[in-house]
Structure 1
Amino acid sequence: MSGPKKRKVDSECRVFKREWTTKYFFTKVRSMPVCLICQETLAVFKEYNLSRHFATKHGNYASKQSPQEREATAQRLMAKLQAQQNVFHRQTAIQETTTKASFMLSFKLAKASKPLSEGEFLKECMIETAVWELKEEIGAFLKLKGKSDEFTELSDKNWLCDFAFAVDIFSHLNELNVKLQGKDQYVHDMYTNVKAFKSKLIFFSRQISDKVFAHFATLATQKETIQNVKKYSKSLDDLHTEFCRRFSDVEKIDQSLQLVACPLSQNPETAPEEVQLELIDLQSDFVLKEKFSSLELRDFYASLNEATFPNIQRMAQKILVLFGSTYVCEQTFSVMNINKAPHRSSLTDEHLRSILRIATTKLTPDFDALAKKGDQQHCSH
């Protein structure tokens, strides 16, 4: 025989009745009955359970009060419980937002391959993530500590609007920064990203002047944005001017950069005189066109006949050896510091140079040729 079936409380359709609040001092919290006096939670909405709890634990509570007084007492207890829950929810929200901010910060550090000790990048991420995400919680914390007067900016709507603009523009700058990082980037590749960003700044300025904030999502949430559009548009124009000033030297060789990067699409008439005829020969050669599509840029120029294309080769050499950033230099110093350690004191400068050359290049030695050369050197007759 099968045992007795268990009762399913959920199927009994029990609901909380409002009169139980003044009669037994209970309220409903997350579909559970909670005592307003001791805040104990019961399992089900059953009047007998509520009545027994009140009689056994709070039998004399408010026994001499009139119905109106009991109603007032119940409302006071409910307000107290609600205040306690608000504190708990606020602390939970702060913890969740802090955790979210830490995840976002870790994600950005990992994406950019930056260590936690990289101060400037970390500050930038903090502006974009933690500070903005936690601005309300920071304000609540300062108020709790009685120090709101020391940081009045958090209650200044215009300051918050400026802050929102900074968050968005730093986000765009960080995207550019990521594109400019890494190995195997030629100057023309990097300057292409810089030119694109300069064009974006002009585009952003025009859009903000027209009160369009499609690419400034944080700024779009602020009510004071409309009255500050002229200021933000001018800031973007100033940033564009500064980019033009800082990259003015590269702008002077932009034509050469484009010619080396895309020789097949350049107009020979606008090219420097010394490469015009060579450029026509190159663009007319179908074999070289196929090579340009299939080879790395440096390999393509290395494959050109030096007697036929001396000037184009010379121009390519000058452009391709330019350092677009200090990334490779910084990486080389890091590799040197790793290898030149105290426990490797017998390492000579010649050996260190060889190690650095191997560690910072993708070239693979011809081990067979080296082995044969070594055998010849050690062979005795």
Structure 2
Amino acid sequence: MAKGLNHRQFCSLLQEAESEYSDLLLHNKVRWLSRGEVLKRFAACLDHIKTFLESKNLVYPEMAHPEWLGKLHFMVDMTSHLNTLNKKLQGKGNTALQLLEDVLAFERKMTLFAGDVQKETFSHFPSLKAMQEANNVDCDYFHRAIVVMQSAFGDRFSEFRKEKSTLSFPLAPLSVDVSLLNMDPFTDVSRPDLELELADIVDKEMWTSKFVTLTAELENVARQKARLAQLHKWSDIENLPKPDKMVFETWNELPSTYENMKKYAFGVLSIFGSTYICEQLFSNVNYIKSKYRSRQTDESLQSCVKIKVTSYSPNITELSNELQGQKSH
């Protein structure tokens, strides 16, 4: 891939062999690019890669070794599952609770993956299953690998699991046990006053109905997102209402009587559950600071970044009508 001639020759080989793919994928460290797709493409083109390397008098014995091949195909399937999780964690507008629930769900799925490998059914490992039919694989090794991964997930997200009640507060304040809420990060919120406000709002149908409506609206958005994801309409998903904004607007409608509740909810909503937005911002900055824009000032760069990342859409027609055109003399 690093040499243009070799790359062109390999692409020609894939074309002559009528391969499903026309090229390999390069690995990229950007989080939202799919590492699993790189492995999947490599495994699918493995026979052609061997043929090409042999034509260049390059020999890699491990490519014919059953143990190495088994690990490769296991990684193809496992990274595919991780990519599915990764895509759920990316994007704007997800609350920290949604991200935590996705992680906990994946941790539970790994129990199924471990049992699937241990029983050698490979229902969730299609690439490994196809390879296993031709070669015997060490299922104990893969089972141990999944158990270790599951344990690592449990350790990494143990603190978040303890805070699930806190993260649930903005969505379902009336069903959360106040004693389980973590008040330490929110020093301007009084727990006694918060308890009184929660007791006061329970029987106020005018305000409690807003959270019922919010739940229904969030469910509707989740259904639309799932349907569009199945159809791979990612740009349409971006146009859906953002859950965090919907929750924020609901809380903003509550009167100042429930000041402590609102402060606590807004504080929890301000928690960044993912570094996606930060990484996207850095990517945008790198795009803006190209060789054609090498003399930008900090002020102009800041303005360009704001335009790039904002969701605000100006009404050009209305703004144009407010300007007085210069009349010819």
Does the pair score TM above 0.5?
Answer: yes
Question: Which category of TM-score, normalised to the shorter sequence, fits these structures?
Answer: 0.5 to 0.7
Distance of 2:63 and 2:21 partners within structure 1? 18
1:285 equivalent in structure 2: 204
TM, length-normalised to structure 2: 0.66
For structure 2, the 5+ residue unaligned runs are: 1-12, 183-190, 218-245, 320-329
* Deviation, structure 1 residue 226: 6.6
| Paired residues of 2:118 and 2:140 also in contact (CA < 8 A) | yes
How far is the alpha carbon of 1:345 from its aligned partner?
Answer: 4.8
> 1:101 is matched with which residue?
21
State the match for 1:297 in structure 2. Answer: 247
Q: Which letter does structure 1 place at the counterpart of 2:94?
A: Q
Matches of 2:79 and 2:93, distance apart in 1: 26
Q: Which moved more, 1:293-302 or 1:281-290?
A: 281-290
What is the match of residue 43 of structure 2? 132
* Structure 1 stretches lacking a partner, 5+ long: 1-90, 106-115, 371-381
Decide which structure has the larger Cα Rg and report it: 1
Q: Pick the aligned partner of 1:330 from 269, 276, 279.
A: 279
> What does residue range 177-192 of structure 1 map to in structure 2 within 5 Å?
177-192=86-101
Separation in structure 1 between the aligned mates of residue 293 and residue 137 of structure 2, nearest angstrom: 64
The alignment partner of 1:215 has SS state of coil
Answer whether contact 1:158 1:224 (CA < 8 A) is retained. no
**Does the 8 Å CA contact 2:165/2:177 hold for their aligned counterparts?**
no
Secondary structure (helix, strand or coil) at the match of 1:256 reads helix
Would the aligned equivalents of 1:157 and 1:224 in 2 still touch at CA under 8 Å? no
Q: Which amino acid aligns with 2:96?
A: V
Measured in 2, the distance between the counterparts of 1:94 and 1:315 equals 63
> Is it true that 1:165 corresponds to 2:74 in the alignment?
yes
- CA displacement, residues 74-128 of structure 1 (integer Å, 9 cap, x when unaligned): xxxxxxxxxxxxxxxxx6786322xx224896xxxxxxxxxx7835647542211
Distance 1:203 1:255 in 2: 26
C-alpha contact (below 8 Å) 2:163/2:181 kept by paired residues: no
CA deviations over 1:58-86 (Å, ceiling 9, x no partner) = xxxxxxxxxxxxxxxxxxxxxxxxxxxxx
Is residue 202 from structure 1 mapped to residue 122 from structure 2 by the alignment?
Answer: no
Name the amino acid aligned to 2:116. Answer: Q
Provide closer, same or farther for how the CA distance between residues 101 and 286 of structure 1 changes in structure 2, counting only shifts above 3 A. farther
In 2 relative to 1, CA 331–278 (structure 1 residues): closer, same or farther, beyond 3 Å? same
> Relative to 1, partners in 2 of residues 1:314 and 1:161: Cα closer, same or farther, differing over 3 Å?
same
Cα separation, partners in 2 of 1:310 and 1:316, compared to 1, 3 Å: same
Relative contact order, higher structure (CA 8 A, sep 6+): 2
Q: TM-score, normalised by structure 1?
A: 0.58
User: Which amino acid counterpart does residue 267 of structure 2 have in structure 1?
Assistant: K
The Cα shift of 1:182 comes to 1.4
In the alignment, the residues of structure 2 paired with residue 286 and residue 228 of structure 1 have an alpha-carbon distance, to the nearest angstrom, of 60
Q: SS of 2:138's equivalent?
A: helix
- In 2, the alpha carbon distance for the partners of 1:175 and 1:208 equals 19
Mapped contact 1:94–1:137 kept (Cα < 8 A): no
